[in-house]
Amino acid sequence: MASLSQTNFTYTIIAFILLLIISTQCGAQISPTFYDATCPNALNTIRAGCDASILLDDSSSIDSEKNALPNFKSARGFEAIDSVKSQLESVYPGVVSCADIVAVAARDASFAVGAPSWAVKLGRRDSTTASRSLAENLLSFTDGLDKLISTFATKGLNARDLVALSRAQTIGQAQCAFFRERIYNNQSNIDAGFASTRRRQCPGSGGDSNLSPLDLVTANSFDNNYFKNLIQKQGLLASDQVLFSGGSILQEKGLFSRANVLRNTKCPQKKYNFR
């Protein structure tokens, strides 16, 4: 049975992994059948970042991306990927990349909690170097809507993609340090009762690493509550709530309407720029 840290990893890292997989330009040779001949049981073994550079630890030549501020004490559960890699190496040494393991694990973990499945293109190669400076430029939980949209645009993704990918936040947990300011500053874009409830697990000082589910009602289900929470001003992270701030670009473009959110319970069947 998976350990608690592995379970926490599954839920807290999904949003990051999905963005990494979808927004990064990968080689044209990747294919869902890449390992069919060389490692036919690869997907089954994985089931039990595009180049996986975040998995590299510090060394004399590597400044690990794990130490970058957006990842530090936030991205966790690396031992789960290490375990899968070890099992694959015992059967097919040197064949399956860690990058593909991360991609398939993200798909399977999402599907396990109710998200749609998809065919993962395989054949990524692992990076032998890391770039902490690039990792420092990952989006922050305090970023505003303009920053979110412009950053997605640099990856070839539009506002509709931003909405779809943000829905990954319907599952997972966040550390107190990431939402303390939002729940204690009596802002106009947060429900007072919601803020009061969240303070029980996040004191005004200390307890930075205390975990709280992004969605209190269905914490481990991939459903539509993420959007419903934003309508009710109950988004835990500031970067989530800005998607439904009054007069936002997303509402003006018809990407985020109250009627659509309340009507739909599954992912909308629309075309996005997912790679």
37: Cα separation from own chain's centroid = 31
**Is residue 223 marked as binding?**
yes
φ, ψ for residue 184, nearest 5 deg = -110, -5
List the structure tokens of 84: 């899968």
Residue 181 labeled ligand binder: no
239 is in an annotated binding site: no
DSSP3 helix / strand / coil % (the chain, rounded to 5)? 45, 5, 50
Burial group, residue 263, by CB count within 10 angstroms (0-12, 13-18, 19+): exposed
Nearest in space to 142 (alpha carbons), one of 179, 111, 99, 107: 179
53 labelled binding-site residue: yes
DSSP secondary structure of 162-198: HHHHHGGGGS-EEEHHHHHHHHHTT-TTS-HHHHHHH
32 within 8 A of 121, measured Cβ to Cβ: yes
- Provide the 3-class DSSP secondary structure of residue 173: strand
Question: Is 57 labelled as part of a ligand binding site?
Answer: no
What DSSP state is assigned to residue 121? Answer: P
Residue 218, annotated as binding a ligand: yes
How many helices (H) and strands (E) in the chain?
14, 2
Q: Which two tokens stand for residue 33?
A: 């059948």
Residues forming the annotated binding site for Ca(2+)? 49, 51, 53, 65, 170, 215, 218, 223
Q: What residues form the annotated binding site? A: 49, 51, 53, 65, 170, 215, 218, 223
